[in-house]
Chain A
Amino acid sequence: DQQVKQNSPSLSVQEGRISILNCDYTNSMFDYFLWYKKYPAEGPTFLISISSIKDKNEDGRFTVFLNKSAKHLSLHIVPSQPGDSAVYFCAASATGGSYIPTFGRGTSLIVHP
Chain B
Amino acid sequence: KAGVTQTPRYLIKTRGQQVTLSCSPISGHRSVSWYQQTPGQGLQFLFEYFSETQRNKGNFPGRFSGRQFSNSRSEMNVSTLELGDSALYLCASSPGSEITDTQYFGPGTRLTVL
Contacts and interface: CB of A to CB of B under 8 A. Distances in A.
A43 B48 contact: no
Contacts of A51: 100
Interface of A, secondary structure class, is loop
Contacts of A45: 104-105
B42 A99 contact: no
Sort chain B's interface into a size bin.
20 to 34
Contacts of A101: 103
Given A43-B108, A89-B42, A105-B41, A99 B102 contact: no
A99 B4 contact: no
Nearest to A101: B103
A32 B100 contact: yes
A41 B43 CA distance: 15
Contact of B42 (A43, A46, A100, A106): A106
B56 interface: yes
Nearest to B31: A99
Nearest to A105: B42
A24 to B, nearest CB: 14
Contact of B45 (A6, A46, A49, A102): A102
A48 to B, nearest CB: 11
A100 B105 contact: no
Given A98-B56, A99-B56, A100-B56, A43 B106 contact: yes
B84 interface: no
B62 interface: no
Contact of A49 (B50, B100, B108): B100
B102 A43 contact: no
B74 interface: no
A80 B102 CA distance: 24
5 contacts: A44-B105, A49-B100, A51-B100, A99-B96, A99-B101
Interface of B: 4, 31, 33, 35, 40-43, 45, 48, 50, 55-56, 58, 90, 92, 96, 99-108
Given A43-B90, A93-B100, A100-B33, 5 more contacts: A9-B40, A43-B107, A98-B56, A100-B56, A105-B40
